Structure 1
Amino acid sequence: MNTQIYAEKLQKAEETKQPIKPLTTTVPEITVDDAYAIQLHQIAIKQQQGKQIVGKKIGLTSKAMQKLFNVTEPDYGHILSDMVEVDGATISLNHLIQPKLEFEVAFVLKKDLYGPNITVEDVIEATDYIVPALEVIDSRITDWNIRFEDTVADNGSSAMVIIGGTSTKLSDVDLPHIGMNVYRNGELFDSAAAAAVMGNPLRAVAWLANKLSKYNIGLQAGEFVLAGALTAAVTIEDGDTFTAEFAHLGSVSATFR
């Protein structure tokens, strides 16, 4: 299949806010490798526009989500320089289509990680620090009517990232047992622990480094990795302010208008 054509269709959908039909409907023969090729074509288009790769995101880290999509592993996408906001930002909904929010831990790297055979110990050694983060996910596919190949092609359904301002060394915390409370407009509505991400977010980052090696891509020093959502994504409505408070890691918040 001509993956470039579908990359351009998704890119146009993002720019015009006019979502398209699922690729798995219009191109039923699409494979996961095709979908990652479409993703990479999109990233190349954005790089040609002057945007830089600053990180990666991991999605579908829970067994429940994998079962829903009938897969046995997560997926990933690229984070570009124009997608990143700081803690406390007010974010316009004007350029988003059907946004939702996820609550995550981000790993900031001080060393490169190139798979295969990356272990959790390798990830620990390569991590400079961790920070709380919010990920705005959005779908350029109509009504979130997606299968696994659709979200992969659509850059893991990623749209924006809000990075917390407090950095913490891995050696200072027991990461899997870090608790999180999430507030919407000041009211507690969800909670979880970091172990919700593959038992330990470190495993997710190791998985990513090894998966990327299949496509001759690595994680580079200075990049950050969103390790996966601790809870289910929540729909964003105009005027919402969300805050995620992590034990020992600090908090991160954003307002949407």
Structure 2
Amino acid sequence: TLEDALAAIDYAVPALEVLNSHIELEGRTIVDTISDNAAYGAMVLGDVRMHPDEIDLRWVPGVLSRNGEIEETGVAAGVLGHPATGVAWLANKFHQHGQRLEAGELILAGSFTRPMWVQRGDTVLCDYREMGTIECRFV
């Protein structure tokens, strides 16, 4: 359940996922996405760690900028109503297959903004308000 997932979380930390697709996006299917490891490239973690009791995770905002211009905004409730809902689903799915999530594993809960194209030289900043900011430059 959502409550079980929240009880099991040591801390939440903001993150940016860097996509790296090897397959042309136009005409891409779910099978292509899966075979491409969901286009995962890297992740950039923030510095602020908060226990779910310290903050209502549904209301964590994100203001995503590229080179000083706001590109996307969102709120974490955009991930299935609560970002821990997907974590609970994942734990249940693992359990169905005789597996489990292990203590200390880092789990991305899902994105509440659309992907944003970046290129060499771009600087990306995401402001998560009380959860801090993440800034990275693509070289």
**TM-score over 0.5 (shorter chain):** yes
- Which position in structure 2 is the counterpart of 1:154? 36
- Which position in structure 2 is the counterpart of 1:169? 51
- SS of aligned partner of 1:225: coil
Structure 1 segments unaligned to the other structure (5+ residues): 1-118
1:230 aligns with 2:112: yes
Percentage identity across paired residues of the two chains: 36
Task: Report if the CA contact (8 A) 1:135-1:160 is conserved.
Answer: yes
- Which position in structure 1 is the counterpart of 2:74? 192
Higher strand share: 1
Counterpart-to-counterpart distance in 2, 1:228 and 1:167: 17
Task: Report if the CA contact (8 A) 1:241-1:254 is conserved.
Answer: yes
Total equivalences in the alignment: 139
Counterpart-to-counterpart distance in 2, 1:216 and 1:155: 22
Counterpart-to-counterpart distance in 2, 1:144 and 1:120: 35
TM-score (norm 2): 0.91
Task: Report if the CA contact (8 A) 1:194-1:200 is conserved.
Answer: yes
Q: Call closer, same or farther: CA 1:193–1:137 in 2, change over 3 Å.
A: same
Deviation of the 1:144 alpha carbon? 5.3
- Which position in structure 2 is the counterpart of 1:40? none
Deviations, residues 42-69 of structure 1 (Å, cap 9, x unaligned): xxxxxxxxxxxxxxxxxxxxxxxxxxxx
Letter in 1 for 2:67: N
Q: Alignment RMSD, CA only? A: 1.5
- SS of aligned partner of 1:181: strand
Task: Report if the CA contact (8 A) 2:77-2:83 is conserved.
Answer: yes
Letter in 2 for 1:151: T
- Which position in structure 1 is the counterpart of 2:99? 217
Which portions of structure 1, spanning 4 or more consecutive aligned residues, are displaced by more than 4 angstroms? none
Task: Report if the CA contact (8 A) 1:134-1:253 is conserved.
Answer: no
Structure 2 segments unaligned to the other structure (5+ residues): none
Deviation of the 1:214 alpha carbon? 4.1
- SS of aligned partner of 1:228: coil
Query: Comparing 150-159 with 138-147, which one deviates more in the overlay?
Result: 138-147
Task: Report if the CA contact (8 A) 2:71-2:116 is conserved.
Answer: no
Q: Computing the radius of gyration over CA atoms, which structure comes out larger, 1 or 2?
A: 1
TM-score (norm 1): 0.51
Deviation of the 1:206 alpha carbon? 0.7
